[in-house]
Amino acid sequence: MSALVTDSDGQPRVNLLGLSLRQMEQFFLDIGEKKFRAQQVLKWIHHAGVTDIAGMSNLGKGLREKLLQIAEVRPPEVVSQSDSADGTRKWAIRVDGGGLVETVLIPDGGRGTLCVSSQVGCSLDCSFCSTGKQGFQRDLSAAEIIGQVWLAIKSYDAFQSGKGRIVTNVVMMGMGEPLLNFDNVVAAMDLMLEDLAYGISKRRVTLSTSGVVPALDRLAGCSEVSLAISLHAPNDALRDQLVPINRKYPIASLLRSARAYIEAQRDSKRVVTVEYTLIAGVNDQPEHARELAVLLRDFPCKINLIPFNSFPQSGYQRPSGNAVSRFWQVLVDAGFVVTVRTTRGDDIDAACGQLVGQVVDRTRRSERHRAAADTQVIQVG
């Protein structure tokens, strides 16, 4: 459920922005109203971009007054918006409690991919990730997650404007581990797919996980979005160092769970996107590629290579273009579909996949962002 907040009179208010259709219907039933009201309110919020309950004209005056007492539509607070020469747009969002998260929209031809955050910071501490280095602050509410989609569309004035769909794809690859914020992420993804809200195809919403296996098993029963797994190593010894959660849920269990997830989908053509961040001298050698090819031989996947983006004190380097090509070639020769992530939005320090959010001081923040500038995800989903 969306977070309950309190107004100036101390009354708790439900933020309607974060309620899925089912939750919104339950909300109206709970307050003694007909459940079809949920459909009307969803359309006001997500189709029309309206936040003022008083302006929801088909609700009837009495109901609007009742709602104004107990509910609100509160989008995230944008503290800055930056535009890149290549069209990439980045927002910094301040969340309740003071932390910052970032959202990035990457336009590409007719498509617009929005990189969405699920937590303030992250507790999983992958050795190459600046979000992980920041530690964990808190989960985002469903309203704060879907609010990132809302504000991207709003910022282009694209609600019902006939400008076409600004956000055609969503990747849960901003700050945080989405499967550790399960209920809020699932509610927000339901809204992304819901026709009364954003109506994005389930194939165009991608959840990326570092491998929280029990939560991934659970997701199979309640979501149909596309899946990306952050593998980054072809064996457990190496993955244990890069992705510490591997010590709890090793590669074999992750691949088993990911396979079960896509097999549970009705659409039999689906594959898992395997993300592999290439780090110079660590996991980028041809023998790693060969080992990866053997590991994934019978696994239904495409592979997305991400050249590492360095940041101060990371201790790692980005591999050369040649090393990336060599790695790519081994996998292509083995018959895999392989993409390499390309650079977008570097002039505004936009970075999807290693977003920093709140850090100690501005200098360090801008250094890290500069280093993180080219981790844009445009080939997933």
What residues make contact with ligand SAH under the rule CB under 6 A? 128-129, 173, 177, 208-210, 230, 275, 277, 306, 308-309, 353-354, 375
Cα–Cα distance measured from residue 184 to residue 107, given in angstroms and rounded to the nearest whole number: 26
Residue 125 interacts with which of ligand SF4, ligand SAH, none, CB < 5 to 8 Å by class: ligand SF4
Residue 332 burial by CB count (10 A; 0-12/13-18/19+): exposed, middle or buried?
Answer: middle
102 is an active site residue: yes
Q: How far apart are CA 291 and CA 204, in angstroms?
A: 30
Q: Is residue 239 within 8 Å of 233, Cβ to Cβ? A: yes
Residue 92 or 101 with smaller CB distance to ligand SAH: 101
Whole-number minimum distance, CB 136 to ligand SF4, in Å? Answer: 9
Cβ of residue 137: shortest distance to ligand SF4, in angstroms?
A: 12
Give the Å distances, CA to CA, from 358 to 79, 163, 168, 365.
12, 33, 28, 8
What is the DSSP code (8-state) at residue 102? Answer: E
Q: What are the two backbone dihedrals, phi and then psi, of residue 379, each rounded to the nearest 5 degrees?
A: -115, 15
Find the shortest distance in angstroms from Cβ 123 to ligand SF4.
7
- Taking phi over 0 as left and psi of -120 to 50 as alpha, with beta for the rest, 180 belongs to alpha
**Of the residues 115, 122, 301, 352, which is catalytic?**
352
Q: Pick the catalytic residue from 72, 77, 102, 177.
A: 102
- For residue 296, what are the CA distances in angstroms to 234, 268, 307? 9, 18, 20
Q: How far is the CB of 132 from ligand SF4 (least distance, A)?
A: 3
Query: Residues 24, 45, 63, 129: which binds ligand SF4 (CB under 6 A)?
Result: 129
- Give residue number: closest CB to ligand SAH: 353
What is the x/- site pattern for ligand SF4, positions 188-227, by CB under 6 A?
A: ----------------------x-----------------
- 306 contact choice in ligand SF4, ligand SAH, none (CB below 5 to 8 Å, kind-dependent): ligand SAH
Residue identified by tokens 């690859």 is: 173
Residue with tokens 């019978």: 298
Kindly state the smallest distance separating residue 176's Cβ from ligand SF4, in Å.
6
Of the candidates 72, 76, 65, the residue with the CA atom closest to the CA atom of residue 14: 72
CB of 362 to ligand SAH, least distance (A): 20
Q: What residue 240 binds from ligand SAH, ligand SF4, none (CB within 5 to 8 A, per partner kind)?
A: none
Distance between CA atoms of residues 20 and 186, nearest Å:
9
122 near ligand SF4, judged by CB under 6 A: yes
Describe the crossing of helices 21-30 and 182-193 by its angle, rounded to 10 degrees: 100
Reduced to 3 states (helix: H, G, I; strand: E, B; else coil), residue 324 is: helix
For ligand SAH, the closer of residues 25 and 144 by Cβ is 144
SS3 309: coil
Q: Is 352 a catalytic residue?
A: yes
Site for ligand SF4 in 7-36 (CB under 6 A): none
Residues that bind ligand SF4 (CB under 6 A): 122, 124-126, 129, 131-132, 176-177, 210, 230
